[in-house]
Each structure stands twice: as structure tokens, then as C-alpha cells.
Amino acid sequence: MARSKSSLGFLGLFGRSEDLRSLDKALRDADLHPRLVPDAVKLTALTLIKDAKGEEPSPDDYRETAALLGYCALGREAFAAANGEEAALAVERRIEAALEAAGGLDANLILLALHAALVHPGVKEAYQLESG
């Protein structure tokens, strides 16, 4: 089956693809403005989601991706203030599990954020994250 293509649009003539709009909305909902995340990172994240979850990601897939990226970019305090303590703890469990497993969607998203220099210094320190 042919993979559906994510699209940024072209010169304002064509709109962004539905999956990119869904991820942008999920990022906003997680209190991370989509413009703070480079389009290349969003497109790569969409590819990772589709590789792990299938060609038609669910709204939960977008929310979970945005929560992880939001936590990494905003840091614990800002993420918890915007999303609640329970959401912060849930993401922290996901980060710990991803680091322990050293693979999977969450580990790849963390690595993507790390290489894109989107990870908050406090998160880097707390989880001893390094790129290279």
C-alpha cells in the first residue's frame, strides 16, 4: 500500500495535510506552540508515528506524541503547569520506559527532539540525555 504523504502546502495555494494539522493542534493542546517545532521535526515525527501505528494514526497517537514532545521542549515545571501533574507523571513514565527499552516510538521521538535541540536543559539533566 502506498504511504500517504504529509504536506506543508505550497506558497499558500495548498493547505497543510490533515495529519500535519492534527499534530499542530495536539501540540497547541499540550501548550507547545507549533511554530516552536520545526516542520522537519513534525514531518519526521509523523513518519515515526505512521511506522509504529499505521497509516491512519488515531487522535490519541497525535496527543501522545505532542505530550512527549511538549514535555521535552517545555520542561517538567512548565508542562505540569499547563497539562497537570498527572499528565507530567504519565510522560515521565513513558520517558523512563523508552530509555530502559532503548527503542520504540517514544525513544525515537525523544532522540528526534534531542537531535533537533528541542529538549529543555532540565529534562536533559534529569534523564542524562546526550546526543552524539
40-87 pLDDT per residue, tens = 999 999 999 999 999 999 999 999 999 999 999 999 999 999 999 999
The better pLDDT of the pair 8, 28 is held by 28
Burial class (CB in 10 A: 0-12, 13-18, 19+), 130: exposed
pLDDT above 60 (res 127): yes
* pLDDT recorded at residue 1: 40
Parse the chain into domains and list their residue ranges.
18-127
Lowest mean per-residue pLDDT among 15-24, 28-37, 96-105 = 15-24
∠ at Cα 81 (98, 28), nearest 5°?
75
* pLDDT recorded at residue 9: 54
